[in-house]
Every structure is written in C-alpha cells, then in structure tokens.
Structure 1
Amino acid sequence: MSTPDQEYFLRRIRRALNSKPDFSHHGSPLFAHAPSPEELQILDNHRRRTAADRNALLSQLMEAALPIHLCVIPVPDLIAAATAIATLAEAKKPEWSAVKNIIVWRHPLIDLMELKAPLNRLKIPLHRTEPMDPAADPTQDRIEREHLRSAVTASYIGVTSADLCMADTATLVLRNRPGQPRSVALVPSIHIAVITLDQIISDMKELFALLRWDDRFRSEGLSNYMAFISGPSKTADIEATMVHGAHGPREVYLYVVSGK
C-alpha cells in the first residue's frame, strides 16, 4: 500500500539514481566481487608511489594540518621520535593532576621506540595497554578492564600509532585491535601518534580502496570500529566560540618517521 507522497518520494530517488521504475531491475550488487577500474588505478598508484611522491604527500599533510591545529613533526628515526616525545612530556603540565603519567599502545612501532628509557630519566611513569585475555573469567576480565581504565584516566598523554593518515584532510585512521583501545587516543589531554612515511595516503578514496582490496587489510577483516582523528577536539556550541579540548584531547601531535 502506498500514498501519492510515497510515490513522489520514490520517483525522486529513482531520478537521482538514474533508475527506471522497473522492479525486475536490480542494478549493481551491493558488494562488488572485484575492484572497479578506478579502484584498480588507485591501488596501482599506491604500489608505484615513489619517495618523491611520499614526501609530496607529507608536505600536503603538513599544510592541511595547520588550520586544524594538528602539529605534524617529521623525524628521521624512532630514536628521534622517542627523544622528541620525552622532551614534550617534560615541557607539558598535566591538566587535571600534579602527577605525570603516560599511557602507550602495545604496538610494534611504539615498542621499537623504547620510550621507557628517556621517560625513566625524567621520572615519568609509563603504562602500556595489554590485550585482554579472552579466556579470563568475568571477575578477572573486570579487574583487567578497571586497571586499563584507571591507567588511561590517570594519564595526561596517550601515545598511539595509526593504520593510515589521509594527506588531503590531515586525518588519522585508527582501527581497534587487542591492546590498542581507542581510549588512549581520546581520553588523555594530549594525543601523540607515531607513523612512518609510507603510511600517508592521499584521500578517502584511497583509504577505502585499500580497506576493501589490499591483502594487508582484507586478511585482517573488519574491526569493531574505525576512528577518524583530524586534530584536537573542537566545539563551538557556546556563543560560536571555538574551544579545543572540551570533548577530547586539547592537543594532538603527529610524528612522522621519514627516514631522513
């Protein structure tokens, strides 16, 4: 049963989709079984990207980051990244406490930085997220989650990596995995992300082409969530005045390991 208003609404949708009112016509399938020609070209461009292309994307990223208050800092290696993070931690004061605590993801790139040594010299405690034990009983699971929650809320700096970073909008892409909760990027007052130069991609089209068709992502499958982070938290709901940090980190730093 339909009404004239419903028919009018559906006709507008058909016109917008350039679809004939033929119920036997099913159109293209919702989920394609192979990349489109455009996606194939995007994937080929990704594979063929040169060092000069990657540096051009870094420049584009840094330019796009300026107006959104995302601080992008190229560093030659992970040792330089760890030193820079320790220097930043020494200079910054906690927003809600007199005690400095830092929480970091359990992640291969973060582990290789060996951030604990420079922070120990500054007497700043470092906490690591650990994967939850799927076989744990409810009591143990609750204890582990409470421990993680306490460590995150006590930290004024959270350090993560990212899956990718889109240069055109200066947007980090974070997917969840065991030991890599999104709370580390969202709860502390300062979020620090560390990526390598080859993790910078062009735009959203390249992101979804990689997620759908690149073997690295296809083998992993869908994650529970995917976060897009474009600089610090922003809101202007009071007198149209922009405020950073009201609903998340007030500062975001991105260290890009460029290898030079």
Structure 2
Amino acid sequence: MLTPNSNQGRFIRNIRAALGKSEHDIPAREAAIFTSRKSPAQAQSLETIRSRSDAEQRALLDRLIEEGKPLNLKVIPQKDVASAAAAIAGLVAGTSPEWGDRKSVVQWDHPLISELNLSAALGEQNVPVHTAAFEGDADRAGQRARIRQQVTDAYIGVTSADFCLADTATLVMKTRPGEARSVSLVPSVHVAVIRLEQILADLKELYAMLKWDPDQQAEGLTHHMAFISGPSKTADIELVMVHGAHGPRALWLYVITG
C-alpha cells in the first residue's frame, strides 16, 4: 500500500488529478479500461474458447512451441502430472546453479504445483524444495525473511500461470497469497507448469476472459498481473544478446496435455 505522503503517493495523486479520477472511484477506473457491454467480438471470443476442440487446443500448443523458439522459451508437452514432475527432476539433475554448488528449489503454493510433489521427485537428489507461503499468522516478519532467503538461495523457481498466449508465447500470471512474483523473477531458472486448456490464442481472448468469464469476474483483477515472454534478455551493450541480466536466464514451460 502506498504511504499518502511518500514520493510515490504524491506522484500517484498528481496522475489521478490530471486524469480527473477519484482515489476511491474504482468502478470508474475499471470502466475506463474495460468496455461496459459485451461486444459481439468479445462474445464470439468467449464462445470460441469454450467450444474449442482438443485438436484445436493442441494446434494452439504447436503454435506456442513455434513462437517460443525465437524467445528462448522451451515449451515441453507432458502427458500428465507425474511426467511433468519427472521432467523437472531431470532438469534439476542436468543443470547446475549459476553461483555456488548447492541446489535448492522454491515453488508456489498452488494446487497444480502441489500435485507435482516435487519434494518426493527430488528426494533421491537430496535437493530441498521450499514453498513460498506463510504458515499461519505468527511471526509474519520472520516468515517473510525466511521466504525471501529461500527465494534468493534457490536456483530454480517453479510456478504455474493463469493463462498462456500462443501468438506471443506469453505467460499471464496473477499474484495471490502463496504465489509470490519473486519466485518467477529471482532464481536463475524459471519453470512454469500449466494445463493444455489454459492456452489462449491471443490478447483479445485474454481480455474477453478477464472481463466476462464468470470465474474471472468473481475474482476480479489482483493487485499485480505479470506478462512473461521468455527469459530475461537484453542487448543494451553493443547489441550483444545476453540472457539473465534482469531476471531468469532460462524459462521452461511444461504443458500437461492430459
């Protein structure tokens, strides 16, 4: 939350004043972003998503794989949760930390990630798996410090995502309790796991879902939503492409096809 008299608070107040928006007028701000009526195009997008066949969904997966290649996004289909867990265990076995020689993994507190049971999958390798989530309300400051240290020490961060856009190979990730942004940003390797049905075609379908899907309407927009297209990369210095300058140097996406 912004402190009213902080530099950030004054900056945001100036922007709101310039836009003629009230600090508490959330519905008006949402109306400025989203249309108030479902347009025919949005209705058609929702119908397209809901009626998409398995073959059409797999065609989106093929498109996602191709669009991810130039972004250095490795998209790996897996038939089930157990196969995805085994693949992640193989990735851990075949890679080394960028710094030091101690391996550890940090993960989201998320239903799909919990199904992977990575602690068991990595048990033979003696690689600890930490979950970035609070355990009760006691000593929140101490728990926050523990989570921060676990994320910093881990060389692989495992998350899920809300959606993935095939035409731009983009992960769409809301932030919720137990699903910290840092898990996808701090470790050297980001591993994401989604199900086939979470793949959408493009931004138009995403916007239609966020606004008109009943489940998305019930939750609303969380305080943060990240769009991730491949690992961190920059070519600022002499136009030489470097991965991992501002975030993970590698991104693996496992898609459970079912």
- Report TM bin, short chain: 0.7 to 0.9
How far did residue 118 of structure 1 move? 1.7
Count of residue pairs brought into register by the alignment: 227
Does residue 88 (structure 1) correspond to residue 91 (structure 2)? The answer is yes
CA distance in 2, matches of 1:163, 1:191: 16
Match of 1:3 in 2: none
CA deviation map 1:70-126 (0-9, x unaligned): 000000000000000001001110011210000011100011111111211111011
Residue from 119, 122, 134 that aligns with 2:122 = 119
Change (3 A) 1:104 1:239: same
- Please provide the CA RMSD for this pair: 1.2
CA deviation map 1:150-196 (0-9, x unaligned): 00000000000000000000000010010000100000000000000
Decide whether the 8 Å contact of 2:169 with 2:229 is kept in 1.
yes
Decide whether the 8 Å contact of 2:134 with 2:143 is kept in 1.
no
CA distance in 1, matches of 2:181, 2:84: 21
Larger Rg: 1
TM-score (norm 1): 0.85
Decide whether the 8 Å contact of 1:156 with 1:190 is kept in 2.
yes
Q: Would you identify which runs of 4 or more consecutive aligned residues in structure 1 move more than 2 Å?
A: 29-34
Match of 1:246 in 2: 245
Residue from 73, 97, 100 that aligns with 1:97 = 100
1:213-232 superposed matches below 5 A: 213-232=212-231
Match of 1:23 in 2: none
Match of 2:209 in 1: 210
How far did residue 63 of structure 1 move? 0.5
2:115 corresponds to which letter in structure 1?
A: L
Q: The residue matched to 2:122 in structure 1 has which SS? A: helix
Change (3 A) 1:83 1:233: same
Decide whether the 8 Å contact of 1:64 with 1:170 is kept in 2.
yes
Does residue 32 (structure 1) correspond to residue 31 (structure 2)? The answer is no
Identify unmatched segments of 5+ residues in structure 1: 1-28
CA distance in 2, matches of 1:98, 1:198: 37
2:87 corresponds to which letter in structure 1?
A: A
CA distance in 1, matches of 2:135, 2:233: 31
Residue from 73, 76, 92 that aligns with 2:76 = 73
Does residue 173 (structure 1) correspond to residue 176 (structure 2)? The answer is no
- Identity among equivalent pairs (%): 51
Match of 1:19 in 2: none
Identify unmatched segments of 5+ residues in structure 2: 1-30
Decide whether the 8 Å contact of 2:76 with 2:253 is kept in 1.
yes
